[in-house]
Amino acid sequence: MNQFLTPRDMLKKLISFNTVSDRSNLALIDFVEEYLAGLGVTSVRVPSEEGTKASLHAMIGPALDGGAVLSAHTDVVPVEGQNWSQDPFTAWEADGRLYGRGAADMKGFAATVLAKVPDFLSADLGRPVHIALSYDEETGCTGVSPLIEDMLARGPKPDFVIVGEPTRMKVVSGHKGIVVLKTGIQGHPVHSSRLHRGVSAISAAAKLISWLDGKTAENKAEADPDCPFDPPYTTLHCGVIQGGQAHNITAENCEFVTDIRLLPGESVDDWVTAYKSFIEREVLPDMQAISAQCRIDVTEMANVPGLREEDNGKAETVARRLTGDNARNVVVYATEGGIFQRHGLSAIICGPGSIDQAHQPDEFIEIAELDRCAAFLDRLTADLSQIDS
């Protein structure tokens, strides 16, 4: 294997691995592990419970507390139903852009970090560089917590984390959190001409969805005008619903999925408790008064904390110094940054490419963005080399 790949060459290689979240990412992890081993870098796998996927982390530099984690996820979103002009897993270049699934979100950052490993090794680092590659970010950020726990258990403990989601190399210091809930409702079916003897699961769902919409409206009315997020309040949204058997039968079953996008600092547990309390107090008693078999089950499918803006946070301080970006930047989508922060690590989001390209057909990253990221990593390397060991 050619050990000295450019970020462009490395990105083409990473794109060639179909790591859509419903597939294994082990072929990509095999490649990265072999690549690092060829450079004399030992890496650690953190497998999923099923063993079909794995995260990977590695440390370069002195085994001392401090230093930086460079974090990326390896999974990508599906391509089915999208109108791609070429094979999404065979990268191509045109007009200063590199195309392929994951080019922007977020194999571009992972590729640049991996291509810079020889430079990390040749530098006189006073504090280490940690590389962290996770799985299943796109389906709820489920792979990163075991990765972080393994890193921290093995030590040493890093100072800060840079999550390289596409921000055009701007420093993003805050993002909303998300909790995804699946609500399953069992009603009592009867012929609709005898509606009073039945319980419609769809009607119950309508009451719950109305509650969600009402809470969003309340949050909008009470929003802080100085809040930097767009929109500047927590939103509760039903995106998927299915249920019912026929127009003349009260629906026996209904299921819908809700996402709640929370402002940083708000409690997921508080929102889930409020939702369940409304069910138990206002909806379920009337249903069970007709049939004791009626029930409502709420299942948590994802729980990703928001990224809080830190006062004098190490990650933000370093990233602003190295980029020159002193603007207040926040985003409404969720990342693994809040999970690193929940584990006690200072974190920011800063990476190449635009979020506008994420999840799109003919996804691309401008090659100039890869160059900007490489220059940022050069400055980070120099910064870590200036620290007395």
Query: Angle 127-129-132 (CA atoms, 0-180°, nearest 5)?
Result: 145
CA-nearest of 75, 71, 56 to 163 is 71
Task: Give me the long-range contacts of 229-233 (CB less than 8 A, separation at least 24).
Answer: 229/174, 229/176, 229/263, 229/330, 229/332, 230/332, 231/332, 232/263, 233/263
Residue 93 falls in the annotated catalytic set = no
The count of C-alpha atoms lying within 13 angstroms of the C-alpha of 243, restricted to the half-sphere facing its C-beta, is: 25
CA-nearest of 314, 312, 306 to 161 is 314
Annotated active-site residue in 75, 362, 363, 366: 75
Structure token pair of residue 366: 């401008």
Classify the phi-psi angles of 351: left when phi > 0, otherwise alpha if psi is within -120 to 50, otherwise beta: beta
Residues 352 and 109: beta-carbon distance below 8 Å: yes
User: Cα separation of 33 and 278, whole Å?
Assistant: 50
Q: Which residues pair with 44 in a beta bridge?
A: 57
Residue 266 falls in the annotated catalytic set = no
Annotated active-site residue in 33, 105, 136, 137: 137
Residues labelled as active-site residues? 75, 137
